[in-house]
Amino acid sequence: MKLWIAFWNILAKDMRTYYLKPPNVSWGLIFPLAWTGMFFIRSGSGLDSITALLPGVVAVAILFGTTSMLSVTVTFEKKNRSFERLLLAPIPFELLMLAKTGGAILFGMANAFVPVVMAAFLADLSTVSWGVFVPGVFLIAAASTFLGLFIAVSVSEVFEAQTFSNFFRFPMIFLCGLFFPVENLPVFLKPLSYALPLTYGADALHGAVDGSHCMPFALDLSLLGAFCIGLFAVSLWNIKRKWIA
């Protein structure tokens, strides 16, 4: 059987029916804009601060775009039983879930480049290390998507998915060094910060944009990759345990 046909059609259907809808596209534009504006005004330091804000805005745009979209769409499909149709298809389970999450990862990456394009008009991005930035964006999108999958498997209602997403997302904004350095956090919060995947993503993006990173790129990206594998594996295990019981 030509597995790529199934893989591509699952991914393309999700992109078409969920992610490329006008409300989501506008959300992808407005949300990073609002965050950029908020921190821009708050910092009061003019256009010079754009490169310092960019990694945080990019990470938030990815995090909010992917986690909520994937957790809501999977919960919705589970609720109306169309997810069963995928489980009954003769596709390896891991490949099926990669196709299902692939759309959200691409959507997250597209969201990430909205603030980058806007920043390109206002600041000099010629010093950005794209070789680190792009893999960093990809891994943050993948980790956030798999976090969304983990949330989707843990709840049964769409509204629960939204609530549970926020339980993870909002603390991550403040604990992961997106806008405030992890070093400035109280001592008792630092271990929590290092237990969150976005900390390593934010560090890699800061390093790629303005060179202000605490850990080596290889360590950041490896740990982010490890979080991706871990979250994906736990979610798959959970789906098999709960939905194919």
Partner 1 sequence: MSDSINVENLFKRFENVEAVAGISFSVGQGELFGFLGPNGAGKTTTINMLTGLARPDKGAIRIGGIDCTGNPKAAQRLVGIVPDESNLYPELTGFENLCFCAALYGIAKAERQSRARELLDDFALTPAADRKFAGYSKGMKRKLTVAAGIIHRPPILFLDEPTTGIDVASARQLRQLIASLHRDGTTIFLTTHYIEEAERLCDRIAFIVSGRIVRIDTVERLVQPVSEKHVMRIACAQIPAGIEDRLAEAFPEFAVALSTGGFIRVESGKPVKVGPLVRFLEDNGAEVKEARRARPSLEDVFVSITGVEADAMRREKEKKGGGQ
Tokens 């630092």, residue? 190
Contact (CB, 8 A) for 198 and 178: yes
Q: How far does CA 158 lie from the centroid of its chain? A: 19
80 vs 126, beta carbon nearer partner 1: 80
Tokens 């049964």, residue? 156
Among 90, 126, 183, 188, binds partner 1 (CB under 8 A): 90
- In the complex, what is the shortest distance from the CB of residue 223 to partner 1, in angstroms, rounded to a whole number? 33
Q: Six-digit token pair at 55?
A: 């990694």
Among 38, 47, 84, 174, binds partner 1 (CB under 8 A): 84
Amino acid at 69: M
- In the complex, what is the shortest distance from the CB of residue 110 to partner 1, in angstroms, rounded to a whole number? 20
Contact (CB, 8 A) for 59 and 136: no
Q: Please tell me whether residue 2 binds partner 1 under the rule CB under 8 A.
A: yes
CB neighbours of residue 233 within 10 Å: 12
Amino acid at 45: S
The contacts found for 81-87 with CB under 8 angstroms, 24 or more apart, are 83/243, 86/10, 87/243, 87/244
**Closest Cα to residue 65, out of 96, 40, 116, 30?**
30
- H helix count then E strand count, the chain: 10, 0
Give, as ranges, the residues between 92 and 121 that touch partner 1 (CB under 8 A).
92-93
How many residues line the site for partner 1 (CB under 8 A)?
Answer: 25
Interface mask toward partner 1 for 3-42; x: CB under 8 A: x-xx-xxx--x---x-------------------------
Q: How far does CA 210 lie from the centroid of its chain? A: 21
Among 50, 91, 97, 119, binds partner 1 (CB under 8 A): 91
Among 20, 33, 87, 118, binds partner 1 (CB under 8 A): 87
Contact (CB, 8 A) for 205 and 138: no
82 vs 127, beta carbon nearer partner 1: 82
Q: Please tell me whether residue 216 binds partner 1 under the rule CB under 8 A.
A: no
3 state SS of 173: helix
- Judged by CB under 8 A, which stretch of 32-40, 80-88, 101-109, 204-212 contacts partner 1? 80-88
82 vs 163, beta carbon nearer partner 1: 82
Q: Please tell me whether residue 184 binds partner 1 under the rule CB under 8 A.
A: no
Among 85, 121, 126, 191, binds partner 1 (CB under 8 A): 85
- Judged by CB under 8 A, which stretch of 58-66, 85-93, 135-143, 171-179 contacts partner 1? 85-93
Q: Give the residues lining the site for partner 1 (CB under 8 A).
A: 1-3, 5-6, 8-10, 13, 17, 80-82, 84-93, 244-245
